[in-house]
Amino acid sequence: MMPLSRLLVPLALLLTVFLPGAARAGDKKPARPNILFIMSDDHASAAIGAYGSWLKDVVRTPNIDRLAKQGMRFTTTLVTNSICTPCRAAILTGKYSHKNGVYTLQDPLDPKTQHVAALLQRAGYQTAIFGKWHLHTDPTGFDHWNILPGQGRYHDPIMRAKDGKKMEHKGYACDVTTDLTIQWLKKRDKDRPFLALCHFKAPHRPWDPASRFAKLYENTKIPEPPTLLDDYKNRSKAAAEATLKIGENNNKRDLGEDPPKGLDRDGLRRWAYQIYMKRYLSCVAAVDENVGRLLAFLEAEGLADNTIVIYTSDQGFFLGEHGFYDKRFMYEPSLRTPLIVRYPGHIPAGKVNDDMVLNIDFAPTFLDYAGLKAPADMQGKSIRSILQGKTPKDWRTSMYYRYWMHLADHGVPAHYGIRTTRYSLIYYYGQPLGMKGALKRPTEPEWELFDLQKDPQQMRNVFNDPAYGQTVRELRAELDRLRKEVGDNR
């Protein structure tokens, strides 16, 4: 009997020839674009120069900024569950946590799960992933992979490859991840398009910079965000009681030293903020430098024009807003993630887009560019027409969010809610629901409503303000509708 692999090769060739948009005999370049997906870990858009935040004068991201100049930058890319492992699963599968089974940091991705890399591989793409994976089971749907176990380490990372080889790589994790990505790209089959996922570990806690950047901010005072000294008045107990406060909830590993004696609450927060941000931004510098290496490689290989380059983070992150670090909350700094996409000649350069894009939209978008129809059970939508400067008339104006890890790690209660173009409505339902890592202690249910137009910093919960009575009724109806639409009934 003919081995399966020998049957599949001619099939893949047939598909390549006859699929719409596929390379045809005589074409020099494949018509289907390559996709280089660069994703860092916990990189808030405020720490990218092009996003123009209060950090714009100190953050060093010339390469990511250049990508933004050459492509489209999105201001309102929102995640569906702001925590690492679930975001990674949502991005790959194009589905919410309650549909892909990865609700928490501890849930593994079932290797049989349908996801974008496997679908592209089946359609003839070469697929590979390097760096942080964090989905607990071995990757499937990739021709090659070389990943950090769990969180991995910043210096001399140990990595495990598809062939079973596990070895220590000398150097800084971002540099190593880039080296491996470039090595694989050099060896690629030049007649077939590729999907390469380059996943940096930085700038995740504990924020260890590369030695060349260790003193980058030694003599710099980092500007503070306006809500650094937030006192959590007019907000939920959830915000006041969460343990992701800078200073108060950092450990010595985070900051490298004990605080000076005699600091009051605000003094401690301001002191710790300086150390936190210097470490964080030094990690970002290495991410950016490696984005530059990847872009230079594409240029040198003649790949810049037929490769879609995406820069994003697995979720947003608090950089001192509300005095917080970390993520999880459906508040803007952790809900929003950076997104920049470049594809010369196909995506207008230097454009900024405010449409509501979700992390579950990435997978259907890649399939769209590859000339494939997204499977009906993928919940995201392709943003290809948005990237071409034409937002569909019926594009979403509201989205559903849910964080499941009740009180885990940083004391943030489980919650769900909706974000519309103007409002953010959040319901802390107070129950662990048997989720992995969740504390079994219920909390008192509470609601928050923020008017993002009048209160973009989210400092005043107006849920019980009679002036917003009608808005609350409408938003709760929309929340019910979206819960039905995405099929979440827990």
Chain contacts with Ca ion (rule: CB under 5 A)? 41-42, 84, 314
Of the candidates 348, 376, 278, the one whose C-alpha atom is nearest the C-alpha of residue 319 is 278
| Pairing between β-strand 126-132 and β-strand 194-199 as defined by DSSP bridges | parallel
How many other β-carbons are positioned within 10 Å of the β-carbon of residue 482? 19
Angle at which helices 62-70 and 265-300 pack, to 10 degrees? Answer: 60
CA distance 314 to 316: 7
Q: Minimum CB separation from Ca ion for residue 142, in Å?
A: 20
CA distance 201 to 254: 16
Q: Which is nearer to Ca ion, 283 or 387 (CB)?
A: 283
Q: Minimum CB separation from Ca ion for residue 47, in Å?
A: 13
Report CA-CA distances (Å) from 161 to 118, 133, 456: 18, 12, 44
Q: Minimum CB separation from Ca ion for residue 41, in Å?
A: 4
144, 130 contact by CB (below 8 A): no
Q: In 3-state terms, what secondary structure has residue 382?
A: coil
DSSP state of 245: B
Q: Which is nearer to Ca ion, 42 or 321 (CB)?
A: 42
Q: Minimum CB separation from Ca ion for residue 317, in Å?
A: 8
Q: Minimum CB separation from Ca ion for residue 164, in Å?
A: 27
Q: Which is nearer to Ca ion, 16 or 80 (CB)?
A: 80
Q: In 3-state terms, what secondary structure has residue 367?
A: helix
CA distance 61 to 266: 30
**Helix/strand/coil percent split, the chain, to 5:** 35, 20, 50
* Encoded tokens for 488: 């979440």
Q: Minimum CB separation from Ca ion for residue 314, in Å?
A: 4
Q: Which is nearer to Ca ion, 83 or 268 (CB)?
A: 83
Q: Which is nearer to Ca ion, 41 or 288 (CB)?
A: 41
Q: Minimum CB separation from Ca ion for residue 93, in Å?
A: 17
Q: Minimum CB separation from Ca ion for residue 86, in Å?
A: 10
Cis amide prior to 206 (ω within 30 degrees): yes
What letters, b where the CB count within 10 A reaches 16 and e where it falls short, cover 306-339?
bbbbbbbbbbbbbbbbbbbbbbbbbbbbbbbbbb
Q: Which is nearer to Ca ion, 287 or 374 (CB)?
A: 287
The residue number whose beta carbon is nearest to Ca ion equals 84
Q: Minimum CB separation from Ca ion for residue 153, in Å?
A: 16
Q: Minimum CB separation from Ca ion for residue 42, in Å?
A: 4
At position 193, the amino acid (one-letter code) is P
CA distance 140 to 347: 31
Q: Minimum CB separation from Ca ion for residue 143, in Å?
A: 25
Q: Which is nearer to Ca ion, 34 or 97 (CB)?
A: 97
Those residues whose C-beta lies under 8 Å from the C-beta of residue 437, and which sit 6 or more positions away, are 104, 105, 106, 405, 408, 409
Q: Which is nearer to Ca ion, 314 or 451 (CB)?
A: 314
Cα atoms found within 13 Å of the Cα of residue 105, Cβ hemisphere only: 15
Q: Which is nearer to Ca ion, 84 or 374 (CB)?
A: 84
Q: Which is nearer to Ca ion, 41 or 208 (CB)?
A: 41
At position 437, the amino acid (one-letter code) is G
Q: Which is nearer to Ca ion, 79 or 294 (CB)?
A: 79
Q: Which is nearer to Ca ion, 84 or 482 (CB)?
A: 84
Those residues whose C-beta lies under 8 Å from the C-beta of residue 282, and which sit 6 or more positions away, are 207, 209, 210, 213, 214, 216, 217
Q: Which is nearer to Ca ion, 105 or 161 (CB)?
A: 105
Q: Minimum CB separation from Ca ion for residue 83, in Å?
A: 7
Report CA-CA distances (Å) from 158 to 143, 155, 338, 355, 411: 20, 9, 28, 40, 31
At position 449, the amino acid (one-letter code) is L
Those residues whose C-beta lies under 8 Å from the C-beta of residue 458, and which sit 6 or more positions away, are 322, 331, 332, 424, 450, 452
